[in-house]
Amino acid sequence: MEVQPVQTETILLTGGLGFIGSHTCVELYKYITEKNLTQNVHYKIAILDNLSNCMPSVENKIRTILKESYPEVDEKEFFSFHNIDVLDLDALNKMFQSFADKRENVNFIIHFAGKKAVGESVKNPILYFENNVCGTLNLMKMVEKFQIKNFIFSSTATVYGETDNCDEDNLLNPLQSYAQTKTCCEFLMKAMCAAHPSVRMVCLRYFNPAGAHSSGLIGDSPSVYPNNLFPFLEQVVIGKRQIYLKSFFQSYKYVINYKIEKSYTFLVMTITPTMELVQETLFMLQIQLVPIFLPQIICLSLMIPRTLKPSTSVPVLVSVSQILLLLTLRLLADKSHTNSLKEEMVMLVNLLLKQKRLQKFQIGRLQRLQKIFAETPITLSKKILTEFYEIKYHIYIILVSKFALKNITFIQSFIHLKITIYPSKCIELMCNLHCNQNKFFIFLIMIVYIYLNTFIDQFQINNQLIINIKYQVNNKFLKQLKSSDDKLNYKTQLIFQFMIIEQYFSSKNYFQFQFQQ
Ligand SMILES: O=c1ccn([C@@H]2O[C@H](COP(=O)(O)OP(=O)(O)O[C@H]3O[C@H](CO)[C@@H](O)[C@H](O)[C@H]3O)[C@@H](O)[C@H]2O)c(=O)[nH]1
């Protein structure tokens, strides 16, 4: 029997050292490695990046993950990095030609290289149009010249404009330069599809992606000022930046210095549903985001180090209620710290009671807490939690940790809503967030899932992971959430991009580029 020669094809990820690109690379590598074992066509991955918004070290971090995933495969053979700018047409030509010469033709491009800061795009449209549109135009020249058949484009949900209804059939309404550059690129792709019917193109219009790889090696770590809330908060946690969080219910602040260590026990989020508070928070965080990208609800998260040792390295200004809640959680998690934590809480409460600017209800609460401290640890924790849950319009999400899984009945005593999560690569990786509650909810689940995976090692989940979320919100919101329960998984505009990419690779016409106006 005649043996078929193995053919090699290269998948090119532009901007592949960036946030989404690096995760795509890792997932794709797993995918191609499986394929390479069974097929006559072998795939290689090449990353092209000009390093303008990423750390050069990401390359090695990706390699580490690849090696760990498949120790038996030599990653150097299947993964290469090229420090090239998409604006440099000569360099692009040379690179594509060199792949062709080696008979490793590029047949897939996933295009992430682009600038993405909305605020900056408004101030500097020329930079954005040049970078995003000309970069894509150059790649289209390569598509034409080297007869590349598959092109996936990292677009954005901002092409829809200020609307909650982001159906693909909607009219596009890009409001700022960033979105306009992406829309331009989409039109260019549409024109290319019309001119070259055999070329398949896909646009991914995602919202705010967030998350990190479970190895903790790669995540959203921009080299410039973070544009998203989560990398911002993460930089606070690692001590790169200071953060000033303020409780919306307690007007004073308490400065606390905690040494932030690598391993975290809990992530607690305080969510507040009004836009004013969002604005206030952003102001506090000194983040400037264009409002349409914001969810109606914003999460403030604070990660808690495994050991709560006072230190001068990272001053974090948080609200008293958060600290108390966190200490309570610590208390629940680790009985050995019970006494010292209890002392810490007592100290905190006493200290707070001495504050001059306390309001009546705050004094009442602190006094109730004082009484609670006299009780046994478990009753104490329950009571404190209950105390916090009574805060109207606040939602506390307790992440289910190893501890919590063991104590699921305890957690269940706080349940109002039970959510089942089907872990999948796609969810772990990232999903997208937009302003409506369904999506927001999925976003939360995703964050919960990502952090569980990232920070709680030995965390075993088989098919289902139940996250219990206790919340106290107004009835309307609650009803809406409940009634939308069934739709949570699929009836959203979220794009789980890896699902898409996988399907894209495996089905011939399914993702034929579609564009409607
Ligand atoms: O001309 C450029 C501009 C950027 N980059 C690189 O491209 C990557 C972009 O990644 P990052 O800034 O982390 O952005 P992501 O969060 O991955 O954003 C992706 O998703 C956005 C939509 O949400 C798109 O706008 C972006 O183009 C796309 O990269 C970075 O490594 C940059 O160094 C280039 O190589 N060439």
Cβ(16) – ligand 1 distance below 6 Å? no
Could you state, in chain order, the average pLDDT of each consecutive group of 10 residues for the chain (517 residues)?
75 93 87 81 93 91 91 91 97 96 92 89 94 97 95 86 70 90 94 90 72 65 59 48 33 25 24 32 30 22 30 32 44 47 62 61 68 58 45 26 33 30 25 32 40 31 25 30 33 24 29 23
pLDDT value of residue 113: 97
* Minimum CA distance residue for ligand 1 atom 18: 20
Residue closest by Cα to atom 16 of ligand 1: 19
8 A C-beta contact, residue 263 and residue 309:
no
Instruction: Please list the active-site residues.
Output: 178
Q: Residue 317 contacts by C-beta under 8 Å, 6 or more apart in sequence?
A: 242, 243, 244, 245, 246, 253, 254, 255, 256
Judging by DSSP bridges, how do beta strands 106-111 and 150-154 pair with one another?
parallel
Instruction: Check pocket membership of 112 for ligand 1, CB cut-off 6 A.
Output: yes
Using DSSP bridges, classify how beta strands 200-204 and 150-154 pair: parallel, antiparallel or unpaired. Answer: parallel
Q: Which residue has the tokens 């999560």?
A: 421
The pair of structure tokens assigned to 477 is 């919101």
* φ and ψ of 148, to 5 deg: -80, 135
Check if the interface score ipTM surpasses 0.95: yes
Closest atom of ligand 1 to 85 CA is 36
Neighbour count for residue 36 (Cβ, 10 Å): 18
DSSP string, 94-136: HHHHHHHHTT--EEEEEE--S---HHHHHH-HHHHIIIIIIHH
Ligand 1 centroid–CA 51 distance in Å is 10
**How far is it, in rounded angstroms, from Cα 117 to Cα 125?**
11
Residue 97's identity, in one-letter code, is Q
pLDDT at 394: 24
Say if ligand 1 is within 6 A of residue 250 CB: no
53 lines ligand 1 (CB under 6 A): yes
CATH 3.40.50.720 correct for 7-209+496-506: yes
pTM over 0.90: no
- Which pairing describes strands 254-258 and 395-398: parallel, antiparallel, or unpaired? unpaired
| Residue spans in the chain of domains classed CATH 3.40.50.720 | 7-209+496-506
CB 311 within 8 A of CB 259: yes
Rounded to whole angstroms, the Cα distance separating 120 from 113 reads 16
